[in-house]
Amino acid sequence: MSDIYTPPKVWTLDTQSGGHFASINRPVAGATHDKELPKGKHPLQLYSLGTPNGAKVTILLEELVQLGLKDAEYDAWLINIIEGAQFSSGFVDINPNSKIPALIDYSSAQPIRVFESGAIMLYLAENFGQFVPELGSAKRPECLSWLFWNIGSAPFLGGGFGHFYAYAPDKLEYPINRYAMEVKRQLDVLDKQLAHHQYLCGDEYTIADIANFAWYGALVLGELYSAAEFLDVASYPHVTRWATQIQQRPAVIRGKRVNLAWGPEKDQLPERHNASDFDHVNVSP
């Protein structure tokens, strides 16, 4: 049993909380240092990192490029959140929330900033008319429901379960059990839906699948928090079937490898690249 904590009447940051991200956590917003963002040659400039939230957008961009849409080619710039790059003045200008991913679209006279992964995915899918059912389609509400289900649910997997299971300075039974229970409930929600559908919205692969694959696909494929055995992901066969099917897509393979900041694949990609660079980079599984 851990020591009993009695919250004060007014919370203040007296000491760092510890854990993997302690050095960059703070209770205020805004920039900590001045630094402009780099800019490449394409209208779409992505500032991100190869986390699940970052992979949502790079997978979608690679899917669009795979379709031959030249206007979807992009420059990807690594924002290393461990080093606090998300708190630069340039990044805060395009995302006041200081979270990756963030995008600037220079294709119009007035540059457009888009932040938050779901907003970026919907913006790109609608602009290119791909991977989202069109307005008026009965499938559109279903697609958007599963997209926003991801936005509401994934923080319990990442900031909840992932933090206490993998990153917290101490392994505490209560929060790990609490969030493990919730993640397993979420996996069961997905498993029941995918028991009767090839993809989340039926037979059509959409941004809802991409968003959820980046988190829950990675989890059941053993790529997230080394928690597959602990969560008994094998007991969700329909999620595993769906994730295995999606991970074989060439655009998914490429998208998962953009802007990696650590891991064995990092040195195989330059810090900055655009879609055409993959002609010169080993992207086989």
- Average pLDDT of the residues of the chain: 90
Contact assessment for residue 212 and residue 242, using Cβ atoms and an 8 Å cutoff: no
Residue 270, in any domain of the structure: no
pLDDT in tens, 217-265: 999 999 999 999 999 999 999 999 999 999 999 999 999 999 886 544 4
**Residue 269 predicted with pLDDT over 50:** no
CATH number for the domain spanning 205: value is 1.20.1050.10
In percent, the amount of the chain with pLDDT more than 70 equals 88
Domain-embedded: residue 277? no
Range(s) of the domain holding residue 90 = 1-131
Q: How far is CA 22 from the centre of its chain?
A: 21
pLDDT at site 16: 67
19: left (phi over 0), alpha (psi -120 to 50) or beta: left
| 48 SS3 class | strand
- Total domains in the chain come to 2
Residues 149 and 113 in one domain: no
**pLDDT tens digits for 40-84?**
999 999 999 999 999 999 999 999 999 999 999 999 999 999 899
